Structure 1
Amino acid sequence: MTATQPLTEIADSVVRDFTSFVTQVSYADIPETARAAAKRCLLDAIGCGVAGAQTDVVRALRTVATTATSTRPATLFGTSIQTTPEMAAFVNGSAIRCLDFNDDYFGTDESNAHGDTGPHPSDNIGGVLAAAQIAGATGAETILGLVIAYEVCGQLVDEVVIRGNGWDHPTFHSIATAAAASRLLGLSSEQVANALRLAVVPNICLYQSRVGSISNWKGLAGPNGSRNGLFAALLAEAGVTGPEMAFEGSRGFMRQLDHQFSLGPFGGPDHQFRIENTYFKHLPLRYEMQLPVQMAIEVRETIDPLQIAAMKVYMESKSVVTRESEPAIWKPTNRETADHSGPYLIAAALLDGKITHETFEPTRFQAEDVLGVTDTIELIEDPGYTASFPWKMACRFEIQLKDGKEVVLEGVNPKGHPLRPMSEEEFAGKFFGQTQSLLGQQQADELLRVIGRLEAESSLDRIFALTAPRTP
């Protein structure tokens, strides 16, 4: 594409449609409901990031980040450390992601991919904030960047079957962050198109990240996708071009997935922005297990979990695994496997009545009592639940007790699902639960207030300053 070539002449329809959206949407196009949703997503992510910045894995990433400097630096959460924008995107995104408490998106009842994958759209926030910092963006411009990232990521979730074809979703984050960063950096249509091409072609990811005994990379893969998307935008800004037919070419994205798709309507006057249908977590664990764990906490009020002889848990197909295919799920050996293990999480909730960060310590997930209850649990598909997923997330317990009694419990949509939203008080409670002990009440309150009026901020400086834990 030449600098004067119109958008309509971009041969790849996916590149053309994304480029058109990115270059034409404006802050004025975003209704108040979507602006409020963007601030809610940022608040949720910053809370996760403040807590996650204190973990060993993020400390290790900071060590790597401190080896790099830039003439266009970006800041790491909780510190005064500045590094390259790409490293800031990776480290801050990983802080948001690593405790598995950040938001999700699976689509709506209009989604053609039917919840094939549920990437965390807030995995893009590290990249969006880094781009906003180096661009000197205002709070309002940052809100626009967030809406763009969530819209592009959500489009891909709605239309693309990627998990079912053996690939992993961080590619979506590369594309989404490239789109948002391109707008924040003020790229031309030609540059935006090249950023999108450079985001997808080099960044196809393997689903091996999420099976077997799961490593640190499970929580870092999405933020790494965002890092790659920001890098793609920076390359395009410098004039680097990407393969023209990145999606629809003979060896492009669709061919590698063996899946043809087209994009649906974008958010605007006639269609709700996808950020308004974000799925939030009220428990620090994988989203598909929010409802079963919530139900386990409820049912323990009426049964003794140590009296369970057998427990059948009926769910949609993508959450169902067997002992034969995934033996590590029934006997986790690390945090990452524990927080993806449906049987373990249900057992821990039955025994403890809650899920906390202690749930993911070896002293708990290797304990004999919880492993004993875990061993009674079988995961089974209910085809009706599969058909209604994700807009109706359903689960059923059929519990056989040792005395012969049977208990049956069914639930629909966990707290935090778009059809069962958390209240503003619950969002604040989640935020303070992760930040208050580190920042102190006064600083946590101020951070909440600044994010709540983000459109009035002339830069992101105050947000980054307020993420730094108070000194003793």
Structure 2
Amino acid sequence: MNKPVGHGVNKAIDSIQERLTSYACDLNYDGLSPEAIRAAKVRVIDVLGALIGGFFGEPCRVTRNLAAQMPDPDGATVIGTRMKTTLDMAAFVNATTARYSEMIDSYHWPGSSHGHAGETVTPVLAAAEHAQVGGREFITSVVLTYEVFCRVSDVFHNPGFDSTNFGCLSTAVAAGKLLGLSPNKLSHCISMAVVPNIILKQVRKDRLSMFKAVASGQAGRAGVFAAMLARAGMEGPHLPFEGKAGWCEHVARKRFSLNTLGGNGTAFKILDTQIKIRPSEGNAISCILAAEKVAPLKNIKEVKQVTVEVPKYAKEAVGTGENPWNPHSKEDADYSAPYVVAVTLMDGTVTPRSYNDAHLSNPELRALMQKIEVVENEEFTKAYERLPQEHRTRVTVVTRSGERLVGKAGGDQDDMAVPKSDAQIEGKFRGLAEDVLGAKRVNTILDRLWHLEELGNVAEIPSAFVLD
């Protein structure tokens, strides 16, 4: 794959590039399991609901204003509007908007680098709309992008680089397939996604900014743009993964293989991502659920101490350092166990409105956060690291009078690791969308998306989400 033409042809083959190319070209709807097809529809519903939930966020507004300067009637739709922009800009705006609400699914497979494969759904939808394909082709590409994202996450262990890099690659593979690229052009597409687009983990370190969501948009845009370049005839660098200065050497820092991919009896990875039922970083959700068991408290000022027991990874992700106790932004707050527990104890739960300025600047909330400690529970760590995975948390509130209130979460139907029912998926979507779309339109949208495989042209999907 990706061989230069002319004298002295280098016959070296990049096995990872070749594997991804052949897998993408061979995958078709008939090769998908019924479980994978349903999972794809669930995640499309879930991500589009998250997009509506994040539509009015500041970074989403900024990206829409930018897209308005680049109209393209032959491109793709900025979902939520009637605006059509260039294909790559539509991918950028829609992925940013879907990611902003912190409601898309998470991948927490033990030993993986985790990540949010759902951030690729709207860029893939943009490519599908642009290519005027049907629901079956779109479903196939959603399963494909999840497969690539999660399998790469499983073998990638360099903490200096962000998981959105997997999104760039997987979007490129799926978008290239949707644009009808030949195997040779798809190979170049993969190279042009991998070599020039590296996102550092700094987007999720120290004080967080609105770029946390934009990183997903940037990854989606780069992946789609690589497919556009390949379609136009551009060739990518040779040996993008396995070359002397390739991705394996400098980013992954090791050689790896992708021999195991879904299909032919192997389960698809889309089945392993976990649906969120609260708006926060995935490891903080069980903290919210546990706190809900004792919330809302009648008198916050009577709280003496709150102990939040979590798995090791949750402590590292949302309960370590200064930021969780002193968030400066919505992005800091939804990555903070002390913040979401404090909000839950005061309000009863966490909603997208829990991250508004009124909450962030609430002195009573800030005072309560300082009484919260986050500690590792080794038994919870073991439950997190085994399969089937469990997200366990225990919240213990001690009042000045000595009363102890204990809330526990994990291992039940609300556990993130437990597949969600159709009713739960619909309930989440309605909660995010009905206020702006209305119940009647939401009913129509849900019916269409549950029967996505019957859709003749997925271009019908974006038009259903216009916010008047």
Please say whether Structure 1 and Structure 2 have the same fold, judged by a TM-score greater than 0.5: yes
**8 A Cα contact 1:106 1:157, kept in partner:** no
The offset of 1:348, in angstroms, is 0.9
Residues 392 and 13 (structure 1), Cα distance of their counterparts in 2 relative to 1, 3 Å cut: farther
The offset of 1:42, in angstroms, is 0.6
The offset of 1:380, in angstroms, is 2.3
The offset of 1:138, in angstroms, is 0.8
Match of 1:265 in 2: 260
In structure 1, how many angstroms separate the alpha carbons of the residues matched to 2:324 and 2:96?
23
Match of 1:312 in 2: 307
**8 A Cα contact 1:169 1:222, kept in partner:** no
**8 A Cα contact 1:85 1:134, kept in partner:** yes
Question: Which deviates the most, 452-461 or 82-91?
Answer: 452-461
Residues 10 and 106 (structure 1), Cα distance of their counterparts in 2 relative to 1, 3 Å cut: farther
Match of 1:166 in 2: 160
Residues 365 and 414 (structure 1), Cα distance of their counterparts in 2 relative to 1, 3 Å cut: farther
Does residue 1:354 correspond to 2:356, yes or no?
A: no
Other structure's SS at 2:196 match: coil
* Residues 70-469 of structure 1 mapped to structure 2, 5 A cutoff: 70=72, 72-107=74-109, 114-117=111-114, 119-162=115-158, 165-256=159-250, 257-263=252-258, 265-300=260-295, 306-321=301-316, 326-389=321-384, 391-404=389-402, 406=404, 410-413=408-411, 417=415, 419-469=417-467
- Number of aligned residue pairs: give it: 459
Residues 4 and 224 (structure 1), Cα distance of their counterparts in 2 relative to 1, 3 Å cut: closer
The one-letter code of the counterpart of 2:335 is H
The offset of 1:440, in angstroms, is 1.8
Residues 458 and 10 (structure 1), Cα distance of their counterparts in 2 relative to 1, 3 Å cut: farther
The one-letter code of the counterpart of 1:157 is S
Does residue 1:33 correspond to 2:28, yes or no?
A: no
The one-letter code of the counterpart of 2:426 is A
In structure 1, how many angstroms separate the alpha carbons of the residues matched to 2:416 and 2:284?
16
In structure 2, how many angstroms separate the alpha carbons of the residues matched to 1:10 and 1:276?
35
The one-letter code of the counterpart of 1:127 is P
The one-letter code of the counterpart of 2:86 is T
In structure 2, how many angstroms separate the alpha carbons of the residues matched to 1:47 and 1:322?
25
Question: Which deviates the most, 26-35 or 315-324?
Answer: 315-324
**8 A Cα contact 2:240 2:247, kept in partner:** yes
**8 A Cα contact 1:211 1:326, kept in partner:** no
In structure 2, how many angstroms separate the alpha carbons of the residues matched to 1:343 and 1:414?
23
The one-letter code of the counterpart of 1:378 is E
Instruction: List per-residue Cα deviations over 1:56-88 (Å, max 9, x = no partner).
Output: 322221110011134731111121111100000
Other structure's SS at 1:167 match: coil
Residues 387 and 197 (structure 1), Cα distance of their counterparts in 2 relative to 1, 3 Å cut: farther
Other structure's SS at 1:250 match: coil
Instruction: List per-residue Cα deviations over 1:109-163 (Å, max 9, x = no partner).
Output: xx5xx1433x22121112101111121111111111111111111111222113x
Match of 1:24 in 2: 26
**8 A Cα contact 1:338 1:344, kept in partner:** yes
Other structure's SS at 2:207 match: coil
The one-letter code of the counterpart of 2:342 is A
**8 A Cα contact 1:10 1:16, kept in partner:** no
**8 A Cα contact 1:330 1:374, kept in partner:** yes
Other structure's SS at 2:304 match: strand
Unaligned stretches of 5+ residues in structure 2: 6-10
The offset of 1:262, in angstroms, is 2.4
The offset of 1:264, in angstroms, is 5.1
**8 A Cα contact 2:286 2:415, kept in partner:** no
The one-letter code of the counterpart of 2:81 is T
Question: Which deviates the most, 18-27 or 432-441?
Answer: 432-441
The one-letter code of the counterpart of 1:139 is G
**8 A Cα contact 1:168 1:206, kept in partner:** yes
The offset of 1:426, in angstroms, is 1.7
Instruction: List per-residue Cα deviations over 1:362-394 (Å, max 9, x = no partner).
Output: 211221221122111222234454454352322
RMSD over equivalenced CA pairs, Å: 2.5
What fraction of aligned residue pairs are identical, expressed as a percent? Answer: 28
Instruction: List per-residue Cα deviations over 1:28-74 (Å, max 9, x = no partner).
Output: 00122111111111111111222322333222211100111347311
The offset of 1:414, in angstroms, is 7.0
